[in-house]
Structure 1
């Protein structure tokens, strides 16, 4: 006689039960929910803390058996799985809800294929938390990439931060985990509860969270944008002229300290009008992505897809960008793909093993900043960053990304001693993975977003930073594909020159002229950024020697020289009105210096007025920007007058119309100073003079047009005689 088969039990078996309770089940949907079984349909639910669970299907109501530890099960005599809901009774309350484990996956095969290949250019649309209607039910789709995890659960404000009842399913070999949770909507807090390979658990913020709590709180927030843009005209015309052939004058801003205490929406009421009044074409925002430590100024990012919650919601940030666009001002944003902090709730060893960082500890640890470097050779990590670049451009209408710390990415031996790094496959020091990543990022951003510009902060002489990716240079590498590059050499040399007493400047004359030796090797921006006015480097005006009058005169002359020099301009907030103190993120610019009650006229207002006039003259003079990358657009008149501390050069636009810039960086007036000029200009008219009284200068100006004389000079057929003001720059155009 054959032994009888054991009676069928709808309860989960011991192995499934153990894995579900410990959060290590790869396919909870195969156990939980409703499934055809022997003699009917098996219903299983995992509802920790519930007193009872009842299946409601049409007119059918059936209470499931309590199997302990939050498990409930039952076998109902049905011929097929019905549409059903669960009635869950807790202490003091009863909830009727959809069952998360009756739904098919929300991610399609194409999405998973693209993620696996590292080619999903809209990664933010599939990973993260997305309020959605799935199979006619409202809820939120959660998905996360965690290939080393033994299991992943969602924990949040909607389940009392206990993820036991919300295990996610693994979607094949993609490393992606997914769960649609009915009834969860916008504003809910959440994190991912990850079972690591060693069996321990870690609670992690969503790497693709689009909204976060206000630091120091670290939870992610379910978010859906409701913003309606009003900048269509701006977007339509921003790509009409290539950036390197257009005026490009940038005001760099740290949003949290520009006017401390203002939100994104309050900034939108003040920043566009201030920047517009000064005539800058763009603002550059120091990093906006979420970061835990405010003192990092945003350069240690944990939420790469979320604008910092310190100043408002993501839609509030969109409102600010929109307001700047409607005021005719472009928006650049600092972007930080070089590294990330080690916070245990963020990206570091995200699923229990190195994931976003390199698996080699020597490659992973950034030697300078105590952070971790991304593994640019891992296609999913590269995808995370490339998609992030396009995300800011497409979701927030950002006009340009200034990429931070490019040099630290490009070199394997960056800040490392011998023995602390391993050469690449060719025996060189170049990080080939980082080169490929930057090329892919730039190519993708430019292909998807016409009119957007990428800008590299690259402090070495890497060949081809702004060369197209398909053009190979002498090094054998294709170009990195950036649109512009910060000219760190010009910044360093010119500030070093200006720091010398005028009597010593003749020995350092080359520091102001050397930039023209390489000016056309890249498409350059001349940056006087926040980095130059912090950490004991002093503010821009305080770098100048001498008494207060001479310092301001030097600053005005330097700005005039800078705005006339080939390349675009960038000036950090506070320097436009000669702030004497270094910048501090704790209190921002010293706006009180502009108050006439403190004697601001003309000490500080004069410098601000000069910046306004520099921008106005710059934008109105194509010679100053149209041929920034064309050697034919520049010519020295005199570049070797070291004993005089004088620099004079011509800029020309595409039609040949010139502007003459003359800088006298000595504190003496130079009378009848002869300069060679073309012989086809009947007269020259002064359009800007940094020594004008309204700027705080001594008032040595040329009120009347200056006529050339037929005397050849400086290798030119004619010449003019000027009275050069002390410590000043003068611009002249044909009258």
Structure 2
């Protein structure tokens, strides 16, 4: 968006909107002190709006409260709040001001001035107060002070100046006349910095855990005036200007000030409020300019538009009970069954609020404890599914506003459903309006191009060794948990972060300081992120998508681990899908692929994922992976889900697989909901599978043996893990009291009768089926066991008693003592 001079028609509207409030006297510097020093006297961001309290004039105060939404930038004065009454004398000209230094003039016009407040605004000088304004395209600028109107001299190039014959800086505003309109505004260059010294200190240290409160666009009341504070980190910039629809995308008149060695630039713009579009015009070290979206933007335009939007939250949460109790039980000792969703395509076209009307009821009916949302943060290309993020602090605007997204999370919580969000700190795209070489040099990415370039996705990796970048990401993790009440973060592509040689050949990477391939900076970042999230947000869980055998992914950080709560079990997923895709006659040769996971099942706290990655790009939908005719495919599908839900570890299932969708997922049209239409699904094939998933979750939640000791070897025991010739897997799960559940999966298409399995001596009254995936209600053949199945004093599988079962074809059966 190129800055341009407004047309005659455009100039009839105000480029800046006055917000008429009873303004208290502004802070007045002494004659020896600039009107707006570079360091704020306030201490924290919470106090930043009250930074004027440390000004020389006691009456200059600011309320740290969010104002009502300010008028949009293009509101005319007639639409604004009526100005307060004035008793002004007739207009009179100001005394000529000392000439502006040529270097300052040139730098302001070039956009590379680091201290515009030293030159612009009101400053005491011998014999009066110098007022200087930079108002491109203005015909005149008049200072309005109590009892007087003083027109400034036109110095050319948009500069206006004059000396007021007063002993100290008065309360004043500016009346700016354009070709066809006149507006009255507060002068942005009469305000102290609206960010506190403690904020700047924490930013410099890389320890600001609430970074979003310090950087970005923050609507606020500052020194009694409503407006927006703009702050951005750009340490390599020669100058930074705010540009937006309120300046007609010309930032010449709105340069920001540098706040010292922190690399932070700041400007408070009165009258700019919620809904305003903005970007930063950055002067690079070589003098060229780049216009960038705000890395800390909390709201963005709908792609492909790329501007940031000033926003503030007004959502009133109604999930207090959920938030108070979500951490009552550690997640690895709790039922945890996840429905993975791509929000934009679950039901295409729905907004966040419309999703809130449908999604919670659907998920609750299926019995899932949580939903996992594929990345919600803003991304320019929908085909990336959200995994190439440009707006790390902004929910995608495709489905509504940030408060609309809060409304959806709130609705899920009120339905008793937790919300996990995919989070992508591994890389970011190269778009020239976003993070790449943000201020003209590598900033968020490493300076070494070999380290910066991600070889798989054409993106850039983050510089985890830079404190400010690590702070940006750690604060982002806490931001989603605290501002949107997210219950968990599933961290994408952890393996690509951990290894310096990930997808790189020899010569394309450099070892760490110890000569190893581990990215020690990434390790430190992940440990800091996990420790911070867990400390600040009780009940939240972090989940690693980590595909290697890295030791200690879910070990606590104080024991040298990465500190995640759970890890995706990619090995189980790969091995079990490879097994189930084989024809039954060949499965006996791959039997160990279903049992090998128990060799390492307790090395980490695991989630068993059948995710979106397994049902796209030619991998086929879950049911389509299965061999045989349609009946056998569905039977395999049901039996596999029964095996998965009984196996140690938590469960995750991607949308569409809960009703055996046969086609691969496409973000363009989402699940094939029409398959559930009784007019099409007359035999109930797809509805039967969905019913099974609901029953799996219901029994799972009600039987602690299936989840309570997921991470303890005492919670599992093989009955027969070696029945390769029969394609049978039989094992016991135990809860904390020792109560068992027997799970038997039979992956052959024949019925097996009198199949003897050893069982514990409990269950004198017999064993009863609590779930059978071959039941008629699921679309099966309804081969069942008469209840109860009596235990006999016949030794089997190392146990003194046993039961004799009928095993349905291609089915999983769960039994418990009567």
TM-score, structure 2 as length reference = 0.88
After superposition, residues 556-567 of structure 1 pair within 5 angstroms as 556-567=638-649
Q: Secondary structure at the match of 1:673?
A: strand
Asked if the contact 2:96/2:162 (under 8 Å) is kept, the reply is: no
Is it true that 1:707 corresponds to 2:790 in the alignment? Answer: yes
1:449 and 2:537 are equivalent in the alignment: yes
- State which of 649, 652, 671 in structure 2 corresponds to 1:570: 652
Equivalent residue in structure 1 for 2:183, among 91, 95, 119:
95
Q: Distance in 2 between matches of 1:311 and 1:549?
A: 39
> Taking structure 1 as reference, are residues 401 and 272 closer, same or farther at Cα in structure 2, changes over 3 Å only?
same
Q: Distance in 2 between matches of 1:295 and 1:732?
A: 44
Which of 692, 707, 713 matches 1:610? 692
Q: CA separation in 2, counterparts of 1:246 and 1:502?
A: 35
Is 1:692 the counterpart of 2:780? The answer is no
Report if the CA contact (8 A) 1:156-1:189 is conserved. Answer: yes
Give 2:11's aligned residue.
none
Shift of 1:600: 4.8
Q: Is the 8 A contact 1:189 1:222 kept in 2?
A: yes
Which residues in structure 2 correspond to 1:175-254 (within 5 Å)? 175-254=263-342
1:111 matched to 2:194? The reply is: no
Please point out which of 151, 155, 172 is paired with 2:243: 155
> Would you say 1:633 and 2:715 are equivalent positions?
yes
Q: How does 1:536-551 map to 2 (within 5 A)?
A: 536-551=618-633
Give a deviation string over 1:408-428, Cα, whole Å, max 9, x none: 000000000000000000000
Q: Are the counterparts in 2 of residues 11 and 44 from structure 1 also a CA contact under 8 Å? A: no
Q: Describe the SS at the equivalent of 1:164.
A: coil
Aligned to 2:684, the other structure's residue is in SS state helix
Per-residue deviation, residues 251-307 of structure 1 (Å, max 9, x unmatched): 000000000000000000000000000000000000000000000000000000000
Instruction: Give the whole-Å Cα distance in 2 for the aligned partners of 1:493 and 1:113.
Output: 50
Aligned pairs for 1:48-67 within 5 A? 48-67=136-155
Partner of 2:810: 727
Distance in 2 between residues matched to 1:601 and 1:68, nearest whole Å: 82
Q: Which residue of 2 aligns with 1:677?
A: 759
Deviation of residue 38 (structure 1)? 2.4
SS of match in other structure, 2:683: helix
Equivalent of 2:506 in 406, 414, 418: 418
Cα drift, residue 77 of structure 1: 1.4
Does the 8 A contact of 1:41 with 1:79 survive in 2? yes
Shift of 1:8: 8.2
Structure 1 equivalent of residue 661 of structure 2:
579
User: Normalization by structure 1: what TM-score?
Assistant: 0.98
2:175–2:183 Cα contact (<8 Å) kept: yes
Q: How many angstroms apart in 2 are the aligned matches of 1:247 and 1:163? A: 54
Can you give the 5+ residue segments of structure 2 that lack an aligned partner in the other structure? 1-94
- Secondary structure class of the residue paired with 1:435: helix
Give the conservation status (yes or no) of the 8 Å contact 1:10–1:44: no
Q: CA separation in 2, counterparts of 1:12 and 1:501?
A: 85
TM-superposed CA distance for 1:703, in Å, is 3.7
* Residue 749 of structure 2 is aligned to residue 667 of structure 1: yes
2:738 is aligned, of 656, 659, 684, to 656
Kept after mapping to 1: 8 A contact 2:96/2:163: no
1:585-613 residue CA offsets vs partner (Å, 9 max, x unmatched): 00000000001111353210010000000
CA distance, structure 1, for counterparts of residue 335 and residue 760 of structure 2 = 25
Matched, 1:488 2:570: yes
User: How far apart are the structure 2 equivalents of 1:537 and 1:703?
Assistant: 40
Q: Is the 8 A contact 2:660 2:689 kept in 1?
A: yes
The residue aligned with 2:472 is 384
**CA RMSD of superposed structures (Å):** 0.8
CA deviation after TM superposition for structure 1 residue 169, in Å: 0.2
Q: Secondary structure of 1:317's partner?
A: helix
Q: Secondary structure at the match of 1:491?
A: helix
- Deviation at 1:12? 1.8
Q: For structure 1, which segment, 34-43 or 607-616, has the greater mean C-alpha deviation from structure 2 after superposition? A: 34-43
Instruction: Show structure 1 runs of 5+ residues with no match.
Output: 1-6, 472-477
Residue 215 of structure 2 corresponds to 127
Q: Deviations over 1:497-533 (max 9, x none)?
A: 0010000000000000000000000000000000000
Tell me which of 250, 273, 293 is aligned to 2:361: 273
Distance 1:701 1:69 in 2: 89
- For 1:264, the equivalent position in structure 2 comes to 352
Match of 1:517 in 2: 599
Give deviations 1:189-215, integer Å, cap 9, x for gaps. Answer: 000000001111000000000000000
Match of 1:499 in 2: 581
Q: How many residues end up aligned between the 2 structures?
A: 723
Contact 1:8 1:38 in 2 (8 A): no
Deviation, 1:76, is 1.4
**In the alignment, what sits opposite 2:24?**
none
Following the alignment from structure 1 to structure 2, what is the Cα–Cα distance between the partners of residues 49 and 356?
A: 37
* Alpha-carbon distance in 2 for matches of 1:249, 1:589: 20
SS class of match (1:647): strand
Partners of 1:216 and 1:539 lie apart in 2 by 31
Once residues 532 and 695 of structure 1 are traced to their aligned partners in structure 2, the CA distance between those partners, rounded to angstroms, is 24
1:520-535 equivalence runs, <5 A: 520-535=602-617
Partners in 1 of 2:460 and 2:683 — Cα distance? Answer: 48
Q: Distance in 2 between matches of 1:599 and 1:268?
A: 27
Moved over 4 A (4+): none
8 Å CA contact 1:593, 1:600 repeated in 2: no
- Where 2:805 maps in the other structure, the secondary structure is strand
What's the secondary structure of 1:451's corresponding residue?
Answer: coil
CA contact (8 A) 2:393 2:476 kept: yes
SS of the equivalent of 1:433 reads: helix
Superposed, 1:4-19 pairs within 5 Å as 9-19=97-107
Tell me the alpha carbon deviations over residues 71-98 of structure 1, each in whole angstroms, 9 at most, x when there is no partner.
0000111111111100000111111110
How far has the Cα of 1:149 moved from its partner? 0.2
SS in 2 for 1:26: coil
Q: Distance in 2 between matches of 1:645 and 1:15?
A: 83
- Superposed CA deviations along residues 613-671 of structure 1, whole A, max 9, x for unmatched, are 00000000000000000000000000000000000000000000100000110011110
Matches of 1:679 and 1:235 in 2, distance apart?
42
Contact 2:685/2:779 (CA < 8 Å) preserved in 1? yes
Residue in structure 2 matched with residue 621 of structure 1 by the alignment:
703
Contact 1:11/1:74 (CA < 8 Å) preserved in 2? Answer: no
Question: What SS class does the counterpart of residue 252 from structure 2 fall into?
Answer: helix
CA distance in 2 between counterparts of 1:576 and 1:731 reads 19
